[in-house]
A and B are shown apart, each in its own frame.
Chain A
Amino acid sequence: MKSKLLIALLLILASSAVIAGKAEDQQIKSRQSAYGFAGWNLGKIKDQVVDHPDTYNKDQVIAAANAIAAVANSGLGALFGPGTDEGTGWAKTRLKPEFFQQPEEAKKLATDFNREANELAKVAAGGDAGAIKTQFAKLADTCKACHKSFKIKE
């Protein structure tokens, strides 16, 4: 009887550890997807307003900017739960543990990104390629700022 109880307890413990790991891995996976998707869209905007302005297509740039803004407005903070500086999503996470030691700084960098992403969507709707280029640069700087502080290089 006792040993059965012990086994049951062990099973529950083991599975909860797996499930707990799963919840964290799922957050990591989702944020990797979110940033990867944002990066794809940012790349399209850069291609059309910076690298090959002759290919500028207003609708495509609007679509891409809206997609980035949607990512920014989706509540990404929920994907940075405690303990998610360890674990594996699509790949081993690159979140630095410092993220949890400097919550103020993390919040500032994240909201900077949100603000510039929404501004880019607004500017894109205006259709002025020059203004989009300027706003693209502002947004890219917010990506860099956060990566510099909280994303592991290796």
Chain B
Amino acid sequence: MTFRIKVWDLPLRIFHWLLVAAVSAAFVTGELGGALQDWHGRIGVAVLGLLVFRLAWGLVGSHHARFSTFFPTPGRVRAYIKGEWQGHGHNPLGALSVLALLGVLATLVSTGLFANDDIAFEGPMVGLISKDLSDQVSYWHSLIFNVLAGLVVLHVAAITFYLKVKKTNLVLPMLTGEKRLPHPVPEHAKGAGLIGFILVAAMSGVVVWIVASGTLLHILQPAPVVPPAPTAAQNW
């Protein structure tokens, strides 16, 4: 007899696959650049929204989505290495990988906001720093992307290892939300529900809008940015 348990709630799964799609698109548009650089910026800012969503959902989502459930404390990591860990969501090593992915992605997005491509694109927060620093940050942005790429490879390799060697399919639960177990499990905390989800999603949307529209820039630096075209008084 097998028992089905819910591990990943629907918002978390949607988040996960949107993130995969958006980061892939950001990679392609970032590499191609040129005329696609605008799209790179838009997609990158969308990733910022996804990250904000995940942060909030890690507080108010269902049991296995919460950081408090899977945070890899030294005790949990030790137990896992000794083979004594008995959870159903992220195991402590997987949790480390998840937190590293989210952290590096946050750094990547943050640097992107201050980057420029030396052609005709600037991140929405460029106005806060000098061109020299922005050039430097653009360089870090491309370096940090390599770190992300390394983590993604590790992430996929670990999932393949679980599939082939440990005969555990981790991809299916991320699609269906369910895991099958030979024994029943007590009910866990439910997520914030539809209304909560809508609120958290709306909040993430507002953050995206504040950053992308330049509102945040204007709050932090009220001085006007130099106009790019000749003014009426100086149109020679």
Contacts and interface: CB of A to CB of B under 8 A. Distances in A.
B228 A145 contact: no
Interface string A127-154: 0000000001110111111011001011
Interface in B109-123: 117-120
A88 interface: no
A46 B229 CA distance: 11
Contact of B33 (A55, A138, A148): A148
Interface residues of A, number: 27
A111 interface: no
B229 to A, nearest CB: 6
Interface in A25-69: 39-40, 42-48, 50, 55, 57, 60
Interface residues of B, number: 17
Contact of A140 (B34, B139, B228, B230): B34
B230 A46 contact: no
Given A48-B229, A57-B229, A43 B35 contact: no
B138 interface: yes
A153 B228 contact: no
Interface string B99-135: 0000000000000000001111000000000000000
B178 interface: no
Nearest to A152: B139
Contacts of B230: 60
B229 A44 contact: yes
Contacts of A48: 229
Contacts of A141: 34-35
B118 A140 contact: no
A144 B119 contact: yes
A7 B37 CA distance: 57
A35 to B, nearest CB: 8
A39 B228 CA distance: 11
Contacts of A43: 120, 228
Contact of B120 (A39, A138, A151): A39
Interface string B19-45: 000000000000011110110000000
